[in-house]
Structure 1
């Protein structure tokens, strides 16, 4: 490479991790795993994985689509290690993903592909012929504390998670990746190997290599100062302006600026928004690929009128984008809060947005019916996720329903809900119950487990006390002010283990859903890892009825035959805590869940 040359290479992750990289000490720390005040984190990591997975799902036995994750800027160091000037977040996340895939295979007792080992660590020979073992990625900034080495060596389960902000973020990112492997790849060795194959062979990146650090920093500055490009919208923009009258240019330019502003305020990719818009507005099915959207526009002007009425079409697109952006913040198209939308984001994370298709299709509904639609979406989405319905499949069902919903009136709306949501949940009722009966910590994403416990706890309170501003808001239950309590403690005191009896140290028992409850942090600190007979004296201090009545219904009863008493009578209580009690409580929570998420009997629904 000459002194002035800049090399740009389009490469797979397989090719990327044939070289060695370091993040220099002047770089900022890793931030993708950052937690918010609620204790949630890793949304960028989740989005990174789910975007790749959505393309992976489109693979056939003969071919698979490629997926581009962006650009990195590097400069070769004197020791043949690339200095990573730009692209640390995605490179570190990709590297952690390789480590997590390896760790999952090891824990499942599987042999490791040699290629995967080499993508994490290898050796190089210096000019003196000495072999030097290296990890493919090294973090040099002080805040990293050398923690990435622990993940590279396969010690992710015991790695430091607290010492610095960057260490916490890396730990959170690794946790999100392992949850993805468990919940999305089902901890299946075949799925894990296939995903690894797709990740390294079909995920592409552009590496820009410069001769000096100064040149690399200049390119980094140029890339970031240009702002977010609108290339994905350029062709559609050109289609509109080519057909607009000159007198419309000024108005069209203004509408287009607002449109792109709404899309980026929603933190959405333009092509994804356009794809969802087409499926919500026209009879476009879920097989429509993003890269073929512009071909579709060119062939379907008779439907869109984007050439004959470009300004009108741009206004319709802006209206949809404005609604879409509001959906991302839990609001309806008019800007009012929809609890069902807020909750769906809580249970699905930022990466699940397919339900926006049916929300865009249902904007014509009355406010009451749109609220019902949001609530039904929340219930059904959770049942899909817990029953293991693939994203590609539930997207197809959403699109089919959206096509019908466009013609649904408020008068026949109830029939629509019955056919497309209640019957859907009924059809999955048995599988949903089976999954809950066997559910353990780690079988689903941590935030989804918290959502599950929060909804169960909220439901009991609403049955007893009725609606209120606090109880209607799931965040009061889901927030970081509460803990998921292991009733039989994880690493409990000797007295707690002895009192429990057989299985007191068995993680398969300790991590079961039946052994978990939601409790305020202040109370949880008081009970710590003590024995059950002591804990049940403190549980009644909780404001949550389900927690208060864990061992004794008298802790929640008020009056005779009132709503609170009826709610308490419907609870199972457990004065003694042992293996059998955990089994019975898990069955109770599964029954309760069938009411919360309205998974009615399939035969009864079919007869309506």
Structure 2
């Protein structure tokens, strides 16, 4: 035969041969939407007339490396598997409707084959060897209910089967005649291009050509193909296990594979800009420095190691697997936005650092991210910047190295936004940020003062526990006559009520006793709080503790609460914020006496 043969085949012709899905192939990933779309497209084309044909793509096969007389399915696995599931579902539906003439469809699913000893045996036309398939195909072939989904692949296969059964009931109205007509159209008029090659290596090269620039498959799939194409067959098992671990871990953390791959590349090679559809081409062009083809197993292991650290960061753990309160703080900033993860580029680049220096990096990232959030600077605009910083971060070895790096990167960028940060913070209210970010702000301020006064290591989550810690409006949101009499005009001004200067954190039990009382009565209650930033609103603690004295030295209790009080407290909190988030403004925060 020729080295490469290609021809149009119908589904009926396709399933005259036997196919193996090799163990290194990715699992079945089609979901309900893709299966439903395929069924609807075939149905729509069928209704155009019995002579119309519907093309659904190509498949690439080569002689099986595991069983004589079968072909390894190199490309087209998802389509072929879906077609096989459709055939099984149609067989089961027709059987449930009392149809006896099922030999044709049964033969497309299972047929007689001859083994190496010349004996006849029954074989399924599709046999997946990847582990995630489990025994689900035995259930499909035998028409048995699919057992509990233990893997994502089994879940997807089960959903695909149910989707087909639902389509046959809803769209074809459980009509035996309509289902048979649909089956007839499917096996005779639905066409594919079957490309047959004489070797595995040639099949992989055709696969790569068909999917050039990510058409049909994404860069992660093409990367996998390239690794297997470059690897020695003796390394297939190791490479297969390594790749399966990567795919499984990405699924566990619900991360987009291409985002991780981009950040991995940025963190090591400092690429300034790289779109998702440019990833594979970049890998090919830069293979000399990457080493994909020379040592594919080593590259896969490097990717796996980076992903382990990456997953840990998302789970608020450092690269040693230790819980990190600073990474937890970052999660408070982006609780609702899984797309805002550009900072992971820097964490990946810094995973070689000692624990002490890595913690300093995390603190810098946290403060930098918050500054950007407050001044409305889009973090995604810093993607190229983070990539360039990664190259510099890779050279950091000592605390002094890192101090210089931090000064020339984070500090330099924050200085550009410093004045705007202070002004914006001073004018902020509880409507300026989403609630979870505003909780972070008050929690962080309160935590910082407490730590400097009392020491300890209470995490930010302690201060952001909405069940136990409440937001106190010093000027109440619902003012009565007594409040108006004390505060004067403007007691119902929402700008004053929501101002950062009018807000504090209090314990749930204390908040219940505060209610909507005027300040003259609340002054007696604030000192009962354990939070020093709240207590100082009404009185200065004087318990002879030097650390506490220093922490509250420049905090001023208020004798009365009015417009000026709110403005003054907002100004002071803005000064404090410059200290807490390490914003380098020379004129602010000098006299706070905190952290000196």
TM-score range, shorter chain: 0.5 to 0.7
In structure 2, the residue matched to 1:342 is: 328
In structure 2, the residue matched to 1:233 is: 220
For 1:493-532, what aligned pairs fall within 5 Å after superposition? 493-532=480-519
Q: CA deviation at 1:575?
A: 2.0
Q: CA deviation at 1:570?
A: 1.8
Deviations 1:387-412 (A, max 9, x none): 11112323333222112111222252
Q: Residues 232 and 271 of structure 1 are in contact (CA less than 8 Å); yes or no, is this contact kept in structure 2?
A: yes
In structure 2, the residue matched to 1:565 is: 549
Q: Residues 383 and 432 of structure 1 are in contact (CA less than 8 Å); yes or no, is this contact kept in structure 2?
A: yes
2:269 to 282, 287, 296: 282
Unpaired stretches in structure 2, ≥5 consecutive residues? 1-36, 43-163, 175-215, 589-596
Question: 1:412 and 2:401 equivalent?
Answer: yes
In structure 2, distance between residues paired with 1:568 and 1:310: 59
For 1:340-379, what aligned pairs fall within 5 Å after superposition? 340-349=326-335, 350-351=337-338, 352-379=340-367
Q: Residues 485 and 516 of structure 1 are in contact (CA less than 8 Å); yes or no, is this contact kept in structure 2?
A: yes
In structure 1, distance between residues paired with 2:295 and 2:559: 71
Q: Secondary structure of 2:556's partner?
A: coil
In structure 1, distance between residues paired with 2:568 and 2:457: 33
Q: Residues 339 and 375 of structure 1 are in contact (CA less than 8 Å); yes or no, is this contact kept in structure 2?
A: no
Please give the root-mean-square deviation of Cα atoms over the aligned residues, in Å. Answer: 2.7
TM-score, length of structure 2 as denominator length? 0.61
For 1:118-517, what aligned pairs fall within 5 Å after superposition? 213=170, 233-285=220-272, 287-349=273-335, 350-351=337-338, 352-410=340-398, 411-466=400-455, 468-470=456-458, 473-480=459-466, 481-517=468-504
Q: CA deviation at 1:8?
A: 5.4
In structure 2, distance between residues paired with 1:402 and 1:493: 57
Unpaired stretches in structure 1, ≥5 consecutive residues? 10-207, 218-228
In structure 1, distance between residues paired with 2:550 and 2:582: 20
Q: Secondary structure of 2:472's partner?
A: strand
Q: CA deviation at 1:213?
A: 4.4
- Between the two structures, name the one with larger relative contact order (CA 8 Å, sep ≥ 6): 1
1:7 to 29, 40, 46: 40
Structure 1 residues 462 and 214: CA distance shift in structure 2, 3 A: farther
Q: Residues 340 and 377 of structure 1 are in contact (CA less than 8 Å); yes or no, is this contact kept in structure 2?
A: no
In structure 1, the residue matched to 2:580 is: 596
Q: Which has the larger radius of gyration?
A: 2
In structure 1, distance between residues paired with 2:296 and 2:224: 10
Q: CA deviation at 1:232?
A: 6.0
In structure 2, distance between residues paired with 1:490 and 1:215: 60
Q: CA deviation at 1:247?
A: 0.7
Q: CA deviation at 1:552?
A: 1.5
In structure 1, distance between residues paired with 2:424 and 2:479: 27
1:587 to 560, 571, 575: 571
In structure 2, distance between residues paired with 1:252 and 1:6: 35
Q: Residues 340 and 374 of structure 1 are in contact (CA less than 8 Å); yes or no, is this contact kept in structure 2?
A: yes
In structure 1, distance between residues paired with 2:448 and 2:379: 27
Q: CA deviation at 1:233?
A: 2.6
In structure 2, distance between residues paired with 1:490 and 1:297: 58
Q: Secondary structure of 1:485's partner?
A: strand
Count of residue pairs brought into register by the alignment: 386
Q: CA deviation at 1:576?
A: 0.8
Q: Residues 219 and 277 of structure 2 are in contact (CA less than 8 Å); yes or no, is this contact kept in structure 1?
A: no
Structure 1 residues 366 and 216: CA distance shift in structure 2, 3 A: farther
Q: Secondary structure of 1:574's partner?
A: coil
Deviations 1:145-174 (A, max 9, x none): xxxxxxxxxxxxxxxxxxxxxxxxxxxxxx
Q: CA deviation at 1:379?
A: 1.1
In structure 2, the residue matched to 1:541 is: 528
Q: Secondary structure of 2:405's partner?
A: helix
Structure 1 residues 282 and 578: CA distance shift in structure 2, 3 A: same
Q: Secondary structure of 1:523's partner?
A: helix
Q: Residues 515 and 582 of structure 1 are in contact (CA less than 8 Å); yes or no, is this contact kept in structure 2?
A: yes
Q: CA deviation at 1:264?
A: 2.0
Q: CA deviation at 1:5?
A: 9.7
Structure 1 residues 316 and 537: CA distance shift in structure 2, 3 A: same
Q: CA deviation at 1:210?
A: 5.8
